[in-house]
Amino acid sequence: MLMQANLGQSGSAHVIVLGNEKGGSGKSTTALHIAVALLKAGQRVATIDLDCRQQSFTRYIANRQAWARRTGLALELPRHVCIKLGETMQIAENESAEFEQFMTAVSTVERMFDFIVIDTPGSDSYLMRLAHSMADTLVTPINDSFLDFDVLGTVDAATYSVTGESHYAEMVRDSRRKRRQLDGASMDWIVVRNRLSMLGSRNTQFVANGLKQLSFRLGFRAIDGFAERVV
């Protein structure tokens, strides 16, 4: 699916952003799997970690690099950048420093690589929103429960029918609108259901039905992801 992205039309890398305003949904795990899959397909891949505090994506890549050295295996590795947190007492100065790092990282690799995979933090921030507005493909992992569904939409407690859109979905809608205004490009939005039970349940079916209803309203594609977050 991600491999089908058209390359070379503008000479710039295809930007894949992992985003969700809820932690623990599998963003970093999914980001690593996407990056490695693209590398194994022969693509040139750069990766950027915007989760300055947690840095799970950065540690995953460092562990892969360490394992390659230890075993002598020629494991594929992306060109990776982790954005560092600003350390001054002034919020504006910190944001400016982080913004400059991010834009430098993107401008350095956008013409040299086929794909840029960006992992974002599970919280709202200006860098997170900026990354979303740059996305050619947005991947939103959610755990297969209504606790995670809540970042996308609201449901009726009795009928489980979708009653509205939530904060993150509204932010993505705004990012897509700004992107269309900027360069006329459209963002492909994929919602990935993680932590899928191997056994069917009523809750699983309710979540699937809710995502189907919401996909028509928001314009995303829902696909099945990982049963467990194994790397």
Banded pLDDT at 8 (limits 50, 70, 90): very low
Contact call for residues 138 and 172 (beta carbons, < 8 A): yes
Distance in angstroms (rounded) separating the CA atoms of residues 85 and 98: 7
Domain ranges of the chain: 17-224
Instruction: Answer positive or negative: Cα dihedral of 157, 161, 163, 166.
Output: positive
- The model carries a pTM of 0.87
Domain 17-224 belongs to what topology? Answer: Rossmann fold (3.40.50)
Task: Tell me the pLDDT band of 229, cut-offs 50, 70 and 90.
Answer: low
- Residue, of 24 and 55, whose pLDDT is higher: 55
On whether the CB atoms of residues 50 and 102 are closer than 8 A, the answer is: yes
- Residue linked to tokens 């740059």: 134
Model confidence at 25, pLDDT cuts 50, 70, 90, reads confident
Q: Which residues make Cβ contacts (< 8 Å) with residue 14, sequence separation at least 6?
A: 5, 6, 7, 114, 115, 116, 136, 137
pLDDT of residue 199: 52
Q: What is the per-residue pLDDT for 191?
A: 94
